[in-house]
Chain A
Amino acid sequence: VTRVRVTGMCQGHARCIALAPDTFDFDDEGYAVVRPGCEVVTEERAAAVQRAVLNCPEAAIVLDAEGGDPVD
């Protein structure tokens, strides 16, 4: 099982919100957050989440294996 989170590196580029809108939302100031309940990356959202990871200019999206070890 892979979990996704947004770190404090986020600066609000909003690439993840464009590329994986089912997983990411943003707060009042435009910083990204993972939608509640979407922390576990399901198979159907995995490709979009991966695209978000590869296009985040701040490398602020982190995938963790269930144990907490970074996947990527």
Chain B
Amino acid sequence: VTDVRNEDDAAIGERTRTFDYHDHRLDGIFDEYRWLHERCPVGRSEELGGFAFLAKLDDIFAAEQDPETFSVAPSMLLPPFATDDPLIPIDIDPPAHGPYRKILLPAFTPRRIADLTPGMRDTARELAQACVDAGTADVAATFCLPFPLIVFSRLCGFPEEDWPRFGRWLHDIIYERLTDPPRARASGDELRAYFDELLRRKAQEPRREDLISVLLDAEVEGRGLTHAELISYCYLLFLAGLDTAAWSIRSGLRYLGLHPEAQAQLRDDPSLIPAAAEEVLRTMSPVQGMARTCVRDTVVRGQEIRAGERVVLLFGAGNRDPEAFEDPDEIRFDREKNRHLAFGGGIHRCLGSNLGRRELVVALEEFLATTPWFRCTDPEQPWFGVGPLTLEFTERP
């Protein structure tokens, strides 16, 4: 019996040794998650410098509630976002973390986001109309990416004349950090230099109703933020606020473009769209995993994790955990219980989750309201990322 089990363990270890949750590895990862839930809910990979991973929703949740065991140092990002410096506030542990986070909490409350909504609708409708007018369009480039970029850049106070430069920085830092690290680094350096200059300029100007102004006037423990801290905070906002929203909108439209019955359902009853958005977030989470570092020996589901090990919380797997969700791989607009962790949880819950949710809901509502019907012409385009998504617009069948 022992031999069989050891062989089994060896086979499991052999399979998870090469596990990764980035880029092309996301093709077919839902099958992999299903296998992890059955055979290896806590495992180890040798990729990315080596990491343990947690696939069960309960285990991910528990780790997020325990920052004294699971530290965010040196970075939640594995590999990091083209920088060796911790990003504020996500890469900061308590007690320093709270004061940084508090600065922007009031800017992201449901009421503040509701105030932004009419402007968001106008932007979404204009962009969607341009897609329809083209007949066939790569809506990733013409809707999913520009919509949150416009909304979030206005909120932050990133000047409009600079927006055309943002796409390459985002792509290089987030997506090329695995395939072409020097290119990611070069763009990271450019982005920091951009904020260095922008922050110096805005510090001299009258304050406006934007997040950069809030940061410039903010105090943590009786002092203002240093210039380096300001750059770090802006760098994080830029990377967190633009790519993830675009991903979720693109994945939602792709799903509707491939599932006419679901598209018809939302067109006939738009009150289902918020629930549909939750299912899009749950099943195709833009952040499939975030890393921690175990800082004291611990045990998760019978598996020892040692101090010093990197530990990846696989939100994408947890959100498809059969013990947490009935028919976890099904998108169901009438799902009653949906405690997904697409925005993480605990003290590092995505600061912009209210904005991200609203952007997705508004994007789907306005896209459906502006277009008569659409379908995906290339089902081979991946479900993940922000690459091309070709939609053809027709009359409703």
Contacts and interface: CB of A to CB of B under 8 A. Distances in A.
A11 B102 contact: no
B74 interface: no
Contacts of A70: none
Contact of A18 (B61, B105, B274, B336): B274
A29 interface: yes
Given A12-B105, A56-B339, A57-B340, A30 B110 contact: yes
A57 B342 CA distance: 10
Nearest to A28: B106
Given A17-B110, A18-B274, A58-B345, A30 B354 contact: yes
Contacts, number: 56
A22 to B, nearest CB: 14
B345 A57 contact: yes
A59 B346 CA distance: 11
B102 A51 contact: no
A71 B236 CA distance: 41
A57 B347 CA distance: 12
Q: Interface of chain B, helix or strand or loop or mixed?
A: helix
A29 B102 contact: yes
Contacts of A11: 345-347, 349
Interface string A21-35: 000001011100000
Contact of A55 (B61, B339, B347, B353): B339
A13 interface: yes
Contacts of A56: 339
B265 interface: no
B105 A29 contact: yes
A56 B278 CA distance: 12
8 contacts: A11-B349, A26-B111, A29-B109, A30-B354, A54-B337, A54-B338, A55-B278, A57-B341
Given A12-B109, A13-B353, A18-B110, 20 more contacts: A11-B347, A13-B349, A14-B110, A14-B353, A18-B274, A26-B109, A26-B110, A26-B111, A30-B105, A51-B336, A54-B336, A54-B338, A55-B337, A55-B339, A57-B61, A57-B341, A57-B343, A57-B349, A58-B345, A58-B349
